[in-house]
């Protein structure tokens, strides 16, 4: 089932809000200045916080929304700074989060952040990442990029699974999608023992929803 655009969810969540509530700012324009080191460091902290929230979201589903918004803000800076590899990682993480997102958690979270002037832009950026139309002919290139990521980050089983999950979902019906699905589930399974020792059911122990 296709997920509703997050900006639409934002509008629904705000129906019936108090009359004196601060209006939501429009989607922010693209940055023209290249972010400095301090801004990139702040984006790195957002990415780290997003990862922590994403990993914790199996026990608290609302954390998926928190994670996606952190990744979205980090992505905005990375793209402006031409940090292509970091931007790709944020895009894959956002894709994972959106596919797992609970609509009730989203509406509650958005309503609680309604005075945040950046929230509309954050949500629009998430929608843009997930709804981007990529030609099926690029499936093999996306799979090769996920393979490269796996080779370069062998200790990041969870994030490798996320990268393959994106390929599997974006290119459903292609041989690359089937290969990516198997690899995503395999890396999730490889990551499971570390979480199992804590006695908690986390993203490491529960595979993500496979492509339909």
Q: What separation, in Å, do the N-terminal and C-terminal C-alpha atoms of the chain show?
A: 9
pLDDT at residue 8 tops 90: no
Give Cβ neighbours of residue 155 (< 8 Å, ≥ 6 apart): none
Average pLDDT, the chain: 81
Contact 198, 174 (CB under 8 A): no
> What letter does residue 112 receive in the DSSP assignment?
H
Residue from 54, 80, 50, 66 nearest 112 by CA: 66
How far apart are alpha carbons 171 and 69 in whole angstroms? Answer: 25
Q: How confident is the model at residue 173 (pLDDT cuts 50, 70, 90)?
A: very high
Structure tokens that stand for 49 in this block: 């916080």
Q: How confident is the model at residue 200 (pLDDT cuts 50, 70, 90)?
A: very low
Contact 171, 142 (CB under 8 A): yes
pLDDT in tens, 21-59: 434 334 444 445 899 999 999 999 999 999 999 989 878
What is the model's pTM?
0.77
How far apart are alpha carbons 82 and 12 in whole angstroms? Answer: 34
pLDDT in tens, 98-114: 999 888 888 888 788 76
Contact 75, 125 (CB under 8 A): yes
**Chain position carrying tokens 């928190």:** 66
pLDDT in tens, 129-169: 999 999 999 999 999 999 999 999 999 999 999 999 999 99
How far apart are alpha carbons 53 and 60 in whole angstroms? Answer: 9
CA-to-CA separations, 143 to 50, 124, 137, 146, 197, in angstroms, rounded: 24, 26, 11, 5, 31
Q: Determine the Cα angle at 3 with ends 11 and 92, to 5°.
A: 110
């Amino acid at each position: 089932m296709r997920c509703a655009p997050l900006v639409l969810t934002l509008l629904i969540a705000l129906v019936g809000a108090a009359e004196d509530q601060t209006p939501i700012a429009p989607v922010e324009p693209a940055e023209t200045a290249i972010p400095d080191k301090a801004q990139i460091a702040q984006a790195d902290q957002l990415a780290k916080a997003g990862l922590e929230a994403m990993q914790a979201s199996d026990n608290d589903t609302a954390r998926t929304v928190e994670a996606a918004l952190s990744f979205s803000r980090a992505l905005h800076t990375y793209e402006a700074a031409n940090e292509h590899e970091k931007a790709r990682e944020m895009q894959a993480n956002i894709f994972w989060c959106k596919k797992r997102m609970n609509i009730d958690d989203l509406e509650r979270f958005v309503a609680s952040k309604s005075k945040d002037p950046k929230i509309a832009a954050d949500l629009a950026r998430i929608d843009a990442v997930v709804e981007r139309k990529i030609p099926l002919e690029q499936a093999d290139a996306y799979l090769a990029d996920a393979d490269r990521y796996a080779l370069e980050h062998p200790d990041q089983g969870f994030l490798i699974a996320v990268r393959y999950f994106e390929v599997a979902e974006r290119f459903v019906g292609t041989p690359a999608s089937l290969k990516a699905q198997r690899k995503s589930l395999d890396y999730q399974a490889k990551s499971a023992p570390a979480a199992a020792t804590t006695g908690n059911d986390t993203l490491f122990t529960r595979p993500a929803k496979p492509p339909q």
